[in-house]
């Protein structure tokens, strides 16, 4: 059920839904006076999905090395968490947080900003969960971002 074209569509739908919902939460919490939050969240969700694809291309060689060294779980929960931190950082910079700037990109700004980003990383991992469960481990051919 989670393989082939239908599996890819389900995967992308899970990712886009999670990213859009979490972007909505960020907008609602940190920029509540704006209008059209759902539309703005969808744009950020799509942006986060594209960032994930781009990051996936750049980290693919490292993922392949991790597979070759039989360290894919270590890569998945360390290096990929760091990549996701910066992906959500881009989205965070697109939301008018009380504090914004280059340093926020690296450290998440305030405690609420850091917590929002950490939860965003968890959203990213949760969207991968059905595929990890079905495979009984880490699939070798799918780039998770």
**Least confident span in 46-60, 112-126, 127-141:** 127-141
Percent of the chain with pLDDT over 90: 43
Q: Is 133 exposed, middle or buried (0-12, 13-18, 19+ CB in 10 A)?
A: exposed
**Is it the case that residue 144 has pLDDT exceeding 70?**
no
pLDDT band at 1, cuts 50/70/90?
low
Q: Phi then psi for 114, rounded to 5 degrees?
A: -65, -40
Helix (H, G, I), strand (E, B) or coil at 69: coil
**Is it the case that residue 140 has pLDDT exceeding 70?**
no
Q: Which of 48, 57, 56 is nearest to 91 (CA)?
A: 48
Q: Compute CA 21 distance to the chain's CA centroid, rounded to the nearest angstrom.
A: 12
pLDDT tens per residue across span 90-133: 999 998 766 667 778 888 888 999 999 999 999 999 998 887 77
> Can you give the residue ranges of every domain in the chain?
4-135
- Per the structure block, which two tokens stand in for 82? 């760091």
Percent of the chain with pLDDT over 70: 88
């Amino acid at each position: 059920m989670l393989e082939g074209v239908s599996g890819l569509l389900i995967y992308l739908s899970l990712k886009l839904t999670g990213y859009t919902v979490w972007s909505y939460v960020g907008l609602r919490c940190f920029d509540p006076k704006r209008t059209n939050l759902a539309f703005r969240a969808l744009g950020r969700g799509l942006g986060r999905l594209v960032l994930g694809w781009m990051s996936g291309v750049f980290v693919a060689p490292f993922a392949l090395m991790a597979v070759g060294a039989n360290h894919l779980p270590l890569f998945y929960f360390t290096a990929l968490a760091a990549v996701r931190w910066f992906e959500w950082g881009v989205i965070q910079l697109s939301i008018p947080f009380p504090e914004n700037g280059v340093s926020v990109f690296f450290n998440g700004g305030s405690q609420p900003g850091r917590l929002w980003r950490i939860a965003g990383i968890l959203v990213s991992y949760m969207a991968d969960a059905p595929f990890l469960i079905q495979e009984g481990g880490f699939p070798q051919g799918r780039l998770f971002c």
